[in-house]
Every structure is written in structure tokens, then in C-alpha cells.
Amino acid sequence: MFPSLAGKEKVKRLCIRLNEGTDKIEQTNYEFFNAKLEGELDLNEFKNLEDLTFWGNGIGHLQQITDLKINLCSKLKKLFIDCTNLSELNLRSNQETTSLTIEGCVNLLKIEGLEVLSNLQNLKLWYKNSQLEIPFSEDNWKQGLQELSRKKIHSLEEKVIKNEQILKELADMVLPNIAFDLGKLKQEIARLKLNELSPQARKKQSELEQQIKNAKNKIESIPNAIIDLLLETQEQIIGENDKNDPLVQAQLTGQLKAYQSILEKNLSKQELQALLDKKAELIQLKEQIDKLQTEIQQNE
């Protein structure tokens, strides 16, 4: 029903029912009957979803969804879950939610993020579920949520104080006799890490160059440049991972396999993989070094 990202993004209301009925589709509203789902359900690409409903068919016939991913559904306002086989539910990223109903979920053990639902106007939880720890009663849920929020803020404040103390102790070790300065501490730690990684990078560069030399000595009728192209493509693939373009990734992966196929006439798969692994290690090391150098410059 939703093969494309555009198709998912137009959905505002989604209702999935286990019992019999006739599907209803009206522009941005979708209601499906006799829909039996199992396992993980990832709805994170439905970014404009505002109203989400699941219906089982009584506690004897649960909708067999065991994991629901909606952390990127930031516009979700109404969530209704009935007789669904969830064990946990995370709502920390769904802060726009105004209505939450959970009934008949006999295996639900934990709901995370209730304390961040500051816009909640309607809440109905199934108090018959003895496994689910609900830190407030059905009658005073608003006061209960406020208390949860206060406890969370207090806990965070305590962590901040503790972390500040740890940083000061660390600063005294790294920069003795100098007043605590987070920027200087970060800079000095970056320098120490840079001093550790730079020799490693030089060593791995030397090892890679020797591996390339050995490989080029083994190939006879194949141009040496194929090995260079193989490693350049490997570097492009690793760099392209950050951009996450599936088409470009597929093209580069195809090129890499083509170069490997040519080189396998003279080199074993293990030798080629060792080259690629060493190249990947060196790229990652250089990226870490570049980040550390940037951090040092920013704090100077």
C-alpha cells in the first residue's frame, strides 16, 4: 500500500484492525480490517502521522505486533492501542501527543516517556494489567505525570552536578594548577588523543603501502592501476555512507565488485579483503585525526 516515501508521508490517520470489515481509504485517512501483523512495525517514515490506532480482537486474539517504532513520528497527537502484543512502548519522542489510550495489552511491561507528554489531555491505561507498573492512579493521572516530570528533572539536575564534579577532577589531572575551563580541557584531551593516534596512522599507512606493493608484484597481465582504483572506490564507498544515497552506493559497490573480479585472477579473496580492511582502518583513523585537529583549532 505504501511502496514510496511520498506515499507514506501523505498519511495522517492510520487505523489497523484485526477483525473483519471493509477497508476505508479517504485521501490521508487509511483504515484496514483483517490486518494480521507480526513482529516489529516501523512507522518512522510516516512523518506526518497524527492519529494511529491498533485493534486486536479481544485479549484472546492479540494483534501480534511486538515492537512499535514511532520515535520519528513527531506530529503524532492521538495514539490508541487495543489488544496488541507489545512488551514495551517508547513515547519519548512523541511530545505532541494529546490523547493516549492503551487497553487489553496483557503483555505490556513498560511505557517509557510518559513524563515528557506535557500536551496530554486524555489518558486511559488498562489498570487490569498487573505486569505494567503505572506510577499513578486512574483518577489523578495529571498530578501523577507532573510528579514524574519533577522527578525526572531532579534526576537530570543531579546527573549534571555529578558530571561537573567528574569534569573538574579530570581537569585537575590533565591541567593541574589551572582554573577549570571546559574548552581548555577538551583541547588538551584532543591533543593527547591526537598524539596517540598519529603514530598508529603512520604505521597503518606503511603497512598498507607494503601490502599494495606485494599485491602489485603478484599481478601479471593486469594493470597495476586496478589495485589503486579498487582502493579509491573503497574510500568513496566509506565517504558516501555519510550521505546515504542508495543509488550512488549501489554504483560504487558494483564498481568495487568488478575490480575484485578482475584481480581475483592473480590474488585470493583473502588478500583482496585484507587490502580493503586495511584501507578502511586507515580512513577511519584519518577521520578521527581530522576531527581532533579541528577541535584543537576551535578551542585555541
C-alpha 187/C-alpha 196 separation (Å) is: 14
For residue 55, give the H/E element and its range: strand 51-55
What is the pLDDT at residue 73? Answer: 95
What is the pLDDT at residue 113? Answer: 87
Residues of the chain with pLDDT under 70: 178, 180, 240-244, 299-300
Phi, psi for 52 (deg, rounded to 5): -125, 130
What is the pLDDT at residue 240? Answer: 66
What is the pLDDT at residue 191? Answer: 85
What is the pLDDT at residue 82? Answer: 95
What is the pLDDT at residue 241? Answer: 63
Q: What number of residues does the chain have? A: 300
C-alpha 28/C-alpha 106 separation (Å) is: 31
Closest to 63 measured CA to CA, from 104, 18, 33: 18
What is the pLDDT at residue 256? Answer: 92
List, in sequence order, every residue forming a beta bridge with 55; answer none if it has no partner: 17, 82
C-alpha 284/C-alpha 129 separation (Å) is: 49
